[in-house]
A and B are shown apart, each in its own frame.
Chain A
Amino acid sequence: MDCEGWLERLDVVLDGEADPALAAAVEGHLAACASCAERAKLARALRSTLLARAAVETPPTLRGRVAARLDAEDRRSSRGLLGRGILIALAAAGLVALGAVAPGMVSSRPPEVPLGNPAQLSGMLCCLQCQLREAPPPRGLEALLPPLPPDVGAHHGCLHLRDDEQRYWELVPEGPEAALVSDHALKGRRVVVFGTAEPDLHVIVVARIHVE
């Protein structure tokens, strides 16, 4: 075996994947070959420097935040258990039950509007966490959306609800198809939200936002 071959095997040894016989054979070669011993020293030095320098600290708050996210998910799915779905969710969001119908709202009970297979949209849309980040209108999306009144300007973007995340999760229906989940006024904008949960549970929300 040539020296390159030995050094390659040294990597396997250092990875902890070599059996003792191979490890011993590698050590044997290194003891006999000065140039390999030199390069082995360098390889080990690079490895340990890499490990030492690349260490990543876990933020102490991470665990708590994950738990909070799971709490929100639990609340969302326990509402689902009640079997009243989106209507309950909208009521909880104050859009239906309290009569607090926002000026821009066109329907209190969102119709289920199938928009086709959301997998076609995946990757083209941002998720809710982007806060109105401008995104180019997803190609092909136009054809999937139901027609909007002519006075509604179409602007595609993401709807930031992070400070209201609970409502966000409540609004997004389960299921393979995107549905209209709300049409209401928010901070002076008319917001039409379509939501879905992809099969891999990447939630997509498309908002058409009309700036008054």
Chain B
Amino acid sequence: MSGARLNGHAHAARRQQFEGLLFEHLPVMHAVARRLTRSATDAEDLVQETCLRAYRFFDGFEPGTNFRAWLLRILKNGFINAWHQRQSSPRVESLDLSEEAWQHHVASVAYSPFTSDPESELGRTLLREDIDEALASLPVEFRMVVILCLLEGFSYQETAEVLEIKIGTVMSRLHRGRKALQARLLSAARARGFAPPPTEA
């Protein structure tokens, strides 16, 4: 009986310890889940599922290592297993990430007569949907890196830990993902009237 009571105490302590680590990371987990699933309901399901798995696996977490990266790794795996394969996601090959495509794009915007204040101009023209669309257009490998590094401000190192890839891979995916994202956003902004078309030299 005392054994059972001890178990109960140990259980409560474990729960308390887990929650103490978990709760501060819920916002970032939710933000990443929301951006991956593009649905409020799915995002919440994914976060809940992740928390539950993390709780069951908590004994496997090595104290002193990065808890946030560990949580997001579970979230990433959950997304890949449960959501990603149900969604139609752009394939890597579908994205024209070639240097030429990008060069062509930047050439068309680099010397066009920008407004003196592109920031507020872009802020006025680009909508939330444009950003969602642009993100969704990225193949999931690139999207994850862009979401973590660019939107959530994770370091390259932590992103590598979450995604279980090399830091060099993080950097190259971020580079190309960012270019593709910028290109999409600029063309969306242009479609909404930002920056007049380039003048012929």
**New A-B contacts (20) at CB < 8 Å, excluding given A70-B55, A122-B81:** A11-B175, A15-B150, A17-B155, A42-B186, A44-B119, A46-B185, A49-B123, A50-B131, A50-B185, A53-B128, A53-B130, A53-B131, A56-B35, A58-B26, A58-B30, A62-B30, A66-B22, A70-B19, A200-B53, A201-B52
CB of B156 within 8 A of CB of A58, answer: no
Instruction: Flag the segment in A73-81, A175-183, A188-196 that touches B.
Output: A73-81
Taking a contact as CB atoms under 8 Å apart, the answer to whether B52 and A78 are in contact is no
Binding site for B on A (CB under 8 A): 8, 11, 15-17, 35, 38-39, 41-54, 56, 58-59, 62-63, 65-67, 69-70, 73-74, 77-78, 81, 122-123, 127, 129, 200-202
B8, B34, B85, B119 — most chain A CB neighbours (10 Å): B119
Give which listed residue, A38, A52, A53, A73, contacts B52 with CB less than 8 A: A73
Report Cα–Cα, A156/B166, bound state, in Å. Answer: 41
| 21 residue pairs bridging A and B, Cβ less than 8 Å apart | A16-B153, A17-B156, A42-B186, A46-B122, A49-B123, A49-B126, A53-B130, A53-B131, A54-B135, A58-B26, A59-B30, A62-B44, A62-B47, A66-B22, A66-B47, A66-B51, A74-B15, A123-B81, A201-B57, A202-B49, A202-B81
B97 interfacial contact with A, CB 8 Å: no
CB-CB under 8 A from B178, the residues of chain A are: 11
A202 to B81, CA, bound (A): 9
Please tell me which stretch of B61-69, B88-96, B109-117 contacts chain A, meaning at least 4 of its Cβ atoms lie within 8 angstroms of it. B109-117
Q: How far is the CB of B110 from chain A (nearest CB, A)?
A: 6
Give chain A residues whose Cβ lies under 8 Å from the Cβ of B181. Answer: 50
Number of interface residues of B (CB under 8 A): 61
Residues of chain B lying within 8 A (CB to CB) of residue A11 = 174-175, 178
* CB closest residue in chain A, given B34: A56
Interface of A is mostly: helix
- Cβ-neighbour of A200 out of B22, B77, B114, B155 (below 8 A): B77
Return the contact of A58 from the options B31, B85, B111, B122 (Cβ within 8 A).
Answer: B31
Q: Check if A53 sits within 8 Å of B15, measured CB to CB.
A: no
Chain B residue, CB-CB nearest to A199: B57
Contacting pair B150 A50 (CB below 8 A) = yes
**Contact A46 B51, beta carbon cutoff 8 Å:** no
Task: Check A53–B126 contact: CB distance below 8 A.
Answer: yes
Residue B104 at the A interface, CB < 8 A?
no
Known: A17-B156, A70-B19, A73-B56. A46 touches B26 (CB 8 A): no
A35: which B residues are within 8 A, CB to CB?
Answer: 110-111
Cα–Cα, bound, A78→B9 (Å): 11
**Looking at A45, A48, A129, which has the most chain B CB atoms within 10 Å of its CB?**
A45
Are B182 and A43 touching (Cβ within 8 A)? yes
Residues of B36-91 at the interface with A, using a CB-CB cut-off of 8 Å, are 40, 44-45, 47-49, 51-53, 55-57, 77-78, 81-82, 85
Q: In whole angstroms, what is the CA distance A48 to B149 when docked?
A: 14
Instruction: Please indicate the chain A residues that have their CB under 8 angstroms from the CB of B119 in the complex.
Output: 41, 44-45, 48-49
Asked if B131 and A16 make an inter-chain contact with CB atoms under 8 angstroms apart, the answer reads no
A66 — which chain B residues lie within 8 A by C-beta? 22, 26, 47-48, 51
